Chains A and B, each alone.
Chain A
């Protein structure tokens, strides 16, 4: 079946450095790719998303890139801050349906 692989599972960076999280998906019909941030004990919250007709999207310190040919997409966080510490989940739509398949998450720790 369709799946989404996410790497790395944990990532530690120094404050001010960049962080990159990568995901690959298997369903070539997937057309929507959101990224969620989940702080400890809280609900997942959308931080950025991208559709298959766009290669890159940026929102302040956060950017997402999509390579449809290779079926992978990445989250880039620049100038990391301690408050960026959380678990980040990527997801891909199941085909062009309204269902999402989630990656297994990346625990990001930003050290001051």
Chain B
């Protein structure tokens, strides 16, 4: 099993450009999450999904959109990138609540720089 994977690993954008980050998991997890990690601020939740076809806002959703058309994939979109979106983005997944664990499993991260 590959676990949680993210594409791409690195990306540089110019202000106003758009891009999509892909998260994929092969563990048949119901829940998926997108976080951003900034120095001194820990991990902050952008959007999350509790199942295929569902999405919901987290703490810092502005400027981002998400889609979960397939259970194994969770896409994070930036329609018009801004320098404030320079960050490391982590995807995570978790099995259905009530199972044996509430552990969130993280992907390797995407380092995004917006110039």
Contacts and interface: CB of A to CB of B under 8 A. Distances in A.
Residue among A45, A93, A100, A104 with max Cβ neighbours from chain B (10 Å): A100
Interface stretch (B11-19, B40-48, B79-87): B40-48
A42 B44 CA distance: 17
Interface residues of B, number: 22
B94 A98 contact: yes
B77 interface: no
Given A98-B50, A98-B97, A46 B103 contact: yes
Nearest to B97: A98
A89 B43 contact: yes
Contacts of B41: 104
21 contacts: A32-B102, A34-B103, A36-B106, A43-B90, A43-B107, A43-B109, A44-B43, A46-B104, A46-B105, A89-B42, A89-B43, A93-B102, A98-B48, A98-B50, A98-B94, A99-B33, A99-B58, A100-B104, A104-B40, A104-B41, A104-B42
A91 B106 CA distance: 14
Contacts of A105: 40, 42
- Chain B, interface SS category: loop
B87 to A, nearest CB: 14
Interface of A: 6, 9, 32, 34, 36, 42-46, 49, 89, 91, 93, 98-100, 102-105
Contact of A103 (B42, B45, B90): B42
